[in-house]
């Protein structure tokens, strides 16, 4: 499928769009027609990339968990 990444010159919004033929593309945010097509890398899935993405997800989830616990503690300290 011809899905491309674009960036609006006017507002800087980045978005993906399915483009067939020579159709013009407008910004999904502000509607401007001045957009640049970005280079996008193909998504490659292997054991190594899967493991790296899982590690990153675990780190992200652990950090969010710690933040939630800290927010709960702050709430409990400041409210009766």
Residue 1 or residue 19, greater confidence: 19
pTM over 0.85? The answer is no
Give the angle 27-43-37 at the CA atoms, nearest 5°.
25
User: pLDDT digits over 22-72, tens only?
Assistant: 788 999 889 898 999 888 766 677 888 889 989 999 999 999 999 999 999
Neighbours of 27 (CB within 10 A): 21
pLDDT on residue 22: 79
53 vs 63: CA distance, rounded Å: 15
Give the angle 54-58-61 at the CA atoms, nearest 5°.
135
pLDDT on residue 41: 67
């Amino acid at each position: 499928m011809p899905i491309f990444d674009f960036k609006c010159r006017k507002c800087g919004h980045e978005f993906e769009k399915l483009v067939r033929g020579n159709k013009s593309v407008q910004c999904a945010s502000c509607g401007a027609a001045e957009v640049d097509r970005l280079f996008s890398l193909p998504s490659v899935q292997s054991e190594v990339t899967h493991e790296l993405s899982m590690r990153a997800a675990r780190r992200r989830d652990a950090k969010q968990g710690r933040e939630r616990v800290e927010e709960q503690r702050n709430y409990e300290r400041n409210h009766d």
